[in-house]
Amino acid sequence: MAHGLPRKIKVAFIVQALLASLVMALGIACAEIGVRQVLLHERLADEAANAWEQVAAGPRGSLPHNARMATYFVPAGRPATGVPADVLAAPPGYHIPYWGAPASLVEQRRDGTLYVYFDPEFSDSAIFWTGGLSLLLALLVTYVSAWLTYRTSKRMVAPVSWLAGVVARWEPSSPNAGALSPQNLPIDAGMEVRRLAHALRGMSGRVGEFVERERQFTRDASHELRTPLTVIRVASDIMAADSELPERSRRAVGRIQRAGQDMQTVIDAFFILARDAEVESESERFDVHEVVDDEVENARAQVGDKPVEVVVRDEGGGVIDAPRRVLSLMVGNLLSNAVRFTDAGLVEVVIRPDRIEVRDTGVGMTRETLTKAFDAFYRHDRDSADGMGIGLSIVRRLGERFGWPVELDSTPGEGTVATIRLRG
């Protein structure tokens, strides 16, 4: 679970720590600015009060003046001399920038105007470093707490990750429930994980029983259904070989033969869809031309006395590695449908490197019929009783199962093109 729950928890803690850091940094910055405003306001007010006392004391009083603090008093009606121009230009009141610049206060009374100038470089440094150290300590505590909490959370979800990994390695046909036995669980597995493991062990047992029943059914049904079909086909072949058989009976026997072939095809398709790894293990390298040629011969036998020609056009088909029987079923069904719905003209199989196309000049299909052609149990011609085939829905399921998409394109009165796209 490299990208599962542990990673999501890690991302959540990282995002939480970053957001907390941002909030703390903004909070401390705002606090520093607020503290600076208050301190400078109080300092200027105190210096102004002291300066007015000195002014009231007369010549004996001296105004404070040093490298960082300067106080100027301009008596009423006299010109301002010695006062810096930037201080002199300020209107009455407090002038305290947010950060970095000097602060000043201008007060006017009946006796004159008082100018107080203060450079808070030392105060700014003290406030900055105090806030910076506080932020650093807060971030350190936040990150350590987040890391410890993440480690604890990771240990808590580790058994769940282990459990998911074990289940992900299960084979559907034979899940290894023994890996979830109590003695094999991680030591730090909690009660919830143990209950989940117990439930999964029970489910794996039921799945195993179901798979075994499915295998038995497939094996028994294959034998029990193929045997009577073989008898029907052999008996119908013997009857068809009788030269004295009346024409009416011969037509009935022909329908029996076609129905038997269709039933055999249906059974083969259902068994292939019911199996999984067993069919994949039957893959082999074969020439697509051989499969197409065999199915074309079968299709020609279905033409009967209709003026229909079944041909093959090779445009570069080759050898593929896949279950041969599956492709044979798909091509055979498409050819059977093409012959069934073509009363006169041509049925052509075009073999290309990446696809097989079955083209006919039959009745074609409307757009509405095309949208329903792959629906289960749908039949284009409901009045026809001359066989069923395995149905386009099953052909599509076979194609999806083995990576061979099936497409249809048709024009009413002109014909249909069925395409099987072969995987690489």
Q: Which amino acid is at 401?
A: R
Cβ-in-10-Å burial (0-12, 13-18, 19+) of 338 comes to buried
Asked whether 259 and 303 are in contact (CB, 8 A), the reply is no
pLDDT at 406: 92
* Residue written as token pair 């990208």: 3
For residues 112 and 216, membership in a common domain is answered with: no
Strand 355-360: give its sheet, edge to edge.
308-314, 345-352, 355-360, 415-421, 406-411
In the chain, % of residues over pLDDT 70? 90
CB atoms within 10 A of CB 194: 15
State the number of CA atoms in the 13 A half-sphere of 50 facing the CB.
Answer: 14
For residues 384 and 406, membership in a common domain is answered with: yes
pLDDT at 134: 87
Most trustworthy range by pLDDT among 201-210, 302-311, 342-351: 342-351
For residues 308 and 396, membership in a common domain is answered with: yes
CATH of residue 329: 3.30.565.10
**Residue that is last in its domain, among 140, 160, 193:** 140
Collapsing DSSP to helix, strand or coil, 332 comes out as helix
Whole domain around residue 224: which residue ranges?
170-274
pLDDT-based confidence at 356, cuts 50/70/90?
A: very high
For residues 130 and 16, membership in a common domain is answered with: yes
Asked whether residue 151 is assigned to any structural domain, the reply reads: no
**Residue that is last in its domain, among 253, 274, 295:** 274
For residues 297 and 348, membership in a common domain is answered with: yes
Q: Which of 400, 409, 416, 334 is nearest to 371 (CA)?
A: 409
Q: Does residue 326 register a pLDDT over 80?
A: yes
Q: What is the mean pLDDT of residues 48-59?
A: 78
Q: Give 33's contacts (C-beta < 8 A, 6+ positions apart).
A: 98, 99
Q: What is the mean pLDDT of residues 41-54?
A: 85
Asked whether residue 222 is assigned to any structural domain, the reply reads: yes
Kindly write down the DSSP assignment for every residue of 78-118, as one continuous string.
Answer: S---S--HHHHTSPSEEE--SSSS-EEEEEE-SSEEEEEEE
pLDDT at 387: 41
The whole-angstrom separation of Cα 60 and Cα 55 is 9
Asked whether residue 39 is assigned to any structural domain, the reply reads: yes
The whole-angstrom separation of Cα 359 and Cα 352 is 13
Kindly write down the DSSP assignment for every residue of 219-278, as one continuous string.
Answer: HHHHHHHHHHHHHHHHHHHHHHT-TTS-HHHHHHHHHHHHHHHHHHHHHHHHHHHH-SHH
First to last CA, the chain: 31
Lowest-confidence pick of 48-52, 76-80, 326-330:
76-80
Q: Does residue 417 register a pLDDT over 90?
A: yes
For residues 234 and 338, membership in a common domain is answered with: no
pLDDT at 350: 94
Q: What share of the chain is helix, strand, coil (3-state, %, to 5)?
A: 60, 15, 25
Collapsing DSSP to helix, strand or coil, 338 comes out as helix
pLDDT at 379: 65
For residues 206 and 286, membership in a common domain is answered with: no
For residues 211 and 85, membership in a common domain is answered with: no
Collapsing DSSP to helix, strand or coil, 343 comes out as coil
Q: What is the mean pLDDT of residues 97-123?
A: 84
Asked whether residue 165 is assigned to any structural domain, the reply reads: no
For residues 290 and 406, membership in a common domain is answered with: yes
Q: Which of 6, 40, 217, 247 is nearest to 127 (CA)?
A: 40
Q: Which amino acid is at 127?
A: I
pLDDT at 1: 42
- Bridge partners of residue 70, in order along the sequence: 65, 117
pLDDT-based confidence at 382, cuts 50/70/90?
A: very low
The whole-angstrom separation of Cα 160 and Cα 176 is 17
Asked whether residue 256 is assigned to any structural domain, the reply reads: yes
Q: What is the mean pLDDT of residues 235-258?
A: 84
For residues 29 and 128, membership in a common domain is answered with: yes
pLDDT-based confidence at 418, cuts 50/70/90?
A: very high
Mean pLDDT of all residues in the chain? 81
The whole-angstrom separation of Cα 280 and Cα 321 is 10
Q: What is the mean pLDDT of residues 369-398?
A: 68
The whole-angstrom separation of Cα 236 and Cα 230 is 10
For residues 186 and 97, membership in a common domain is answered with: no
The 10 Å CB-count burial string (b at 16+, else e) for 299-313 is bbebeeeeebebeee
pLDDT at 407: 92
Q: Does residue 5 register a pLDDT over 70?
A: no
Asked whether residue 246 is assigned to any structural domain, the reply reads: yes
**Residue that is last in its domain, among 140, 161, 183:** 140
176-198 tens-digit pLDDT? 677 777 777 777 677 777 887 88
Asked whether 296 and 356 are in contact (CB, 8 A), the reply is no
Collapsing DSSP to helix, strand or coil, 314 comes out as strand
Tally of structural domains, the chain: 3
pLDDT at 361: 92
Most trustworthy range by pLDDT among 78-82, 215-219, 351-355: 351-355
Kindly write down the DSSP assignment for every residue of 346-376, as one continuous string.
Answer: EEEEEEETTEEEEEE-SS---HHHHHHTTST
Q: What is the dihedral of CA 259, 260, 261, 266, to 10 degrees?
A: 90
Asked whether residue 157 is assigned to any structural domain, the reply reads: no
Q: Does residue 390 register a pLDDT over 80?
A: no
Asked whether residue 373 is assigned to any structural domain, the reply reads: yes
For residues 20 and 114, membership in a common domain is answered with: yes
